[in-house]
Amino acid sequence: MASDRTELKRSDRGAGPDLRVNIGALSLANPVMVASGTFGYGEEFADVCDIDRIGAIVTKAITLKPKSGNPGPRVWETPSGMLNSIGLENVGLERFLSDKLPFLQEHESRVIVNIAAVRIDDYARLAERLSEAEGVDALEVNISCPNVKAGGLSFGTDPDQARAVTLAVRAATNLPLLIKLTPNVTDIGVVAEAVVDGGADSISLINTLVGMAIDLEREKPALGNIFGGLSGPAIKPVALACLWKVRGRVDVPLIGMGGIVNGRDAAEFLMAGATAVQVGTASFVEPRSAEIVLNGLIDYLKERNLDSARDLVGRIHI
C-alpha cells in the first residue's frame, strides 16, 4: 500500500511521456480505461476518484429494457480474485440516456457504452439509439450473453454468431466499435477473426472466466446463480495468454484487461500487444486504481526512457 500512496501523491509529473493512443477513430488522452460493470455509470466513483484523469469510462452493460438481475449472493471472494453473478442488472436504455449519460457528458473521459442483449435485433436497436445520443464516443459489445434463438449458447462462444452480432451492430452505427470477447472458448483466435470480419474496429479482452464456490456454512453453492464470472489478479495470466493469441490473428488495435492493479501490469499488457487497458476489479479494492495504474505506467515509461505509450504497444515480438 505504501507504493500506492506514493503513486497518488506525486502530482507534478513534468513534461512526461506522450500518453495518447488511438483505437481506430477513437482518440484517447491515455490508454487507461475502466471496465464495464466495475465503475457503474461513473457518478458512483466521483466522490473518491478524479475521474477526469481516466482515458475512457466503459459503462455498465445497457440492455434495451431495465433488468433486475440475479438473486443473491451475487459476489464471493476467491484467492486473489472474486466471483460475480450480477445478472446484468441495469437501468435500461431510456433511463441510461435520461439519468446517467448527462453526468458522463460533463467529464473529460471518453464515454464507451457497453451494450448487451439476447437477440441480434436488440443489439442493433441499442447501437442505433446510442449513435443518436450526444456524448457517446464508442460502443463496446458484450457478446457473452446467451443467444435465446440459438438454444441459449452465448454469442461469444460461436464464431458465426459473434460475426452475426458484429455485422448487425456495424450496420447500425458509425461509432468506433469494440467487441468484448469471452475466454470461455476453445479457440479465442477464431472468434477474434470472426468479429473483425464482421466489422469490429477493436477487440477488448478478456471478460470473466466461469467459476463457482461452495458456502460451507450454508452447505450450498455460494452464488445465488451457482455459476459466476471470475475476475481479479488470479486471471491475469489467462488474460495475457488470450491477448497474445488474438494478437497473432488480427490486425485491429486490442484492449487488454484481466487482473490489472498497477502500472507494471498495464505495461505487460501493452508490451504483449494491447493498445489500451481496462482496470476493473482493482477499483473495488482501491477506488483510485485507474489513476494508480496510469501513474505507474508513466513511471514505467520514464524508467525505460520511452517517449510515448505507443512505443510500448506490441514491443515484444515472437
Partner 1 sequence: MKRLVEEAVVRFQEPVAPRLIYSLRLRSPAIAAAVRPGQFVHIRVSSGFDPLLRRPISIHSVAGEEIELIYRVVGRGTEILAGLRPGAVLDLLGPIGRGFDLEPDKTPLMIGGGLGVPPIHYLAQDLATRGGSGLVLLGFRGLDDAYAVEELEALPGLEVKTATEDGSLGHKGLLTELLPSGPELDNRAVYACGPTPMLAAVAAWAEENGLPCQVSLEERMGCGLGACLGCTVPVLIDDDSDNPIKYRRVCTDGPVFPASTINWKELTGGL
Residues with active-site annotation: 145
Per-residue b or e along 255-265, where b marks 16 or more CB atoms closer than 10 Å to that residue's CB: bbbbbbbbbeb
Residue 89 lies near partner 1 (rule: CB under 8 A): yes
Instruction: Decide whether 57 or 127 has the Cβ nearer to partner 1.
Output: 57
CB 5 to partner 1: min, Å: 8
Segment lying near partner 1 (by CB under 8 A), choices 60-68, 120-128, 145-153, 309-317: 60-68
- Amino acid identity for residue 189 in this structure: G
Of the candidate residues 10, 13, 220, 304, the single one contacting partner 1 (CB under 8 A): 220
Of the candidate residues 30, 32, 39, 277, the single one contacting partner 1 (CB under 8 A): 39
What is the C-alpha to C-alpha distance for residues 109 and 13, in angstroms, rounded to an integer? 20
Strand (E) or helix (H) holding 104: helix 101-105
Residue 40 lies near partner 1 (rule: CB under 8 A): yes
Pairing of strands 228-231, 209-211: antiparallel
| CA dihedral angle for residue 204, residue 144, residue 239, residue 229, rounded to 10 degrees | 130
Residue 86 lies near partner 1 (rule: CB under 8 A): yes
Of the candidate residues 33, 282, 290, 292, the single one contacting partner 1 (CB under 8 A): 282
User: For residue 230, what are the contacts with CB-CB under 8 A and spacing of at least 6?
Assistant: 78, 81, 82, 83, 208, 209, 210, 211
Find the length of the chain.
Answer: 318
Q: Grid cell 464495464 — which residue?
A: 36
CB 20 to partner 1: min, Å: 27
Say how many residues touch partner 1, by CB under 8 A.
Answer: 45
Window 101 to 140, contacts with partner 1 (CB under 8 A): none
Q: Which residues bind partner 1 (CB under 8 A)?
A: 1-2, 37-40, 44-45, 47-48, 60, 66-69, 71-82, 84, 86, 89, 91, 218, 220, 224, 232-233, 261, 281-288
